Amino acid sequence: MLEFDGLYKAYGSNQVLQGVGFTVAPGQMFGFCGSNGAGKTTTMRIAMGLARSDAGEVRWNGARVDEEARRRIGYMPEERGLYPKMKVGEQLAYFARLHGMAAGPATSAAAEWADRLGLAERRNDRVEKLSLGNQQRVQLAAALVSEPDVLILDEPFSGLDPVGVDSLAEALLDQCRRGVPVVFSSHQLDLVERLCDAVGILARGTIVASGTVAELKAAGSGRQLRVVAPQARPGWAAGLPGVRVVSEQRGDTVLEVAQGYDDQQVLAAALTTGPVTHFAWREPTLVELFRGAVTAAPAEVAA
């Protein structure tokens, strides 16, 4: 179990983290969301020992993550970083060795990962000669080459084309199947929704919502009804008591209803306009959940 427990961090008077905590189970893919400047990168850097928390700690299997444990973590920093003049293969082998692999296994692991991420032919090229997309793959290979127990990736998908996104996603799912907990931050919420078992939304220095995607949706659902009644005239639902019209477009209406309101009354009203082709509680998308969570209180200062 990877646990982030009550992390506090201030830069001067700027309280960035105010008790950030969440857990990631082995084999779980955790999507870490939040607006710009919310503190996602700071949280990850604390886990990697690149920043020191004012309070709280990060634990892996119950023990505080120390230098030794960190060598078992694959890390991809937000600011990509590789030696520009070093060859791809040598670079990967070097990082594998820094993580504690012996020379022989490091070389073969470097070759294997270059191969798996489609870089086999570029192994003897200097990193600076590669396209940005390929450099990104090398960066990911550098995080994976030491067969880490944990993966912490800061914005791994940014700057990738759809094909690149798919191959990276596949590589991460492979790691999950291997039992590795994967934490990654991303702004691409559709991607998070598609890939992640669990999601945490960071806003105002704390995790304002977390859980599996299903849980989050369940918590957020039960409030909105979608009714499709093609022959209904505009404003048909406006008069219904306890109901607020969220959107209405050519017979496709989204209604927000008060807690405990009987949805069958709405159905009855809809049927009076003619046939009803769709009537269901609507699951909010992650984007809507995110928006709701992030804007629930004073707006975040965008970085």
Partner 1 sequence: MTASTQAPTQASARTPPPATRPNSAAAQVRLVAGREISTRIRDKGFLIGSAVLILLILGMLVFQVVLSSGSDDTRIGVVDGNAAVDQALQAQGEAFGTDVEVVALDDEAAARTAVEAEDVDAALLAPSGAQPELLVMSGDAQLEALVQSTVQGLSIDDQLTAAGVQLTPPPQVDVVALEEDAEENTEATVVAVVGVLVLYSLLILFGQFVAQGVVEEKSSRVVELLLATMRPWQLLAGKIIGLGLLGFLQMLVIAVVGVVGALAFDVVSVPGRLIGTVVTVIAWFVVGYAFYASVFAAAASLVSRQEDLGSVITPASILLVLGFVISFQAAQDPNSTLATVTSFVPGMSPMVMPVRQAAGAAAWWEVAVAVVLMVLAIAAIVRIGGRVYAGALLRTGGKVKFREALKAERV
Confirm or reject binding of residue 97 to partner 1 (CB under 8 A): yes
Task: Considering the complex, state which of residue 97 and residue 204 has its C-beta at the smaller distance from partner 1.
Answer: 97
Six token digits for residue 276: 């009803």
Closest distance to partner 1 from the beta carbon of 168 (Å): 14
Task: Considering the complex, state which of residue 27 and residue 56 has its C-beta at the smaller distance from partner 1.
Answer: 27
Interstrand relation of 182-185 and 150-153 (parallel, antiparallel or unpaired): parallel
Confirm or reject binding of residue 80 to partner 1 (CB under 8 A): yes
Closest distance to partner 1 from the beta carbon of 147 (Å): 6
Q: CA 227, 230, 234, 239: dihedral to nearest 10 degrees? A: -40
- Who's near 88: CB < 8 A, 6+ residues apart? 114, 119, 122, 123, 124, 125, 126, 127, 130, 138
Confirm or reject binding of residue 193 to partner 1 (CB under 8 A): yes
Cα–Cα distance, 157 to 162 (Å, whole number): 10
Confirm or reject binding of residue 56 to partner 1 (CB under 8 A): no
Task: Considering the complex, state which of residue 172 and residue 270 has its C-beta at the smaller distance from partner 1.
Answer: 172
Confirm or reject binding of residue 196 to partner 1 (CB under 8 A): yes
The CA distances from residue 263 to 4, 167, 178, 191, 285, in Å, are 41, 44, 45, 32, 21
Closest distance to partner 1 from the beta carbon of 139 (Å): 9
* x/- track of binding to partner 1 for residues 152-191 (CB under 8 A): ---------------------x--xxxx------------
Confirm or reject binding of residue 48 to partner 1 (CB under 8 A): yes
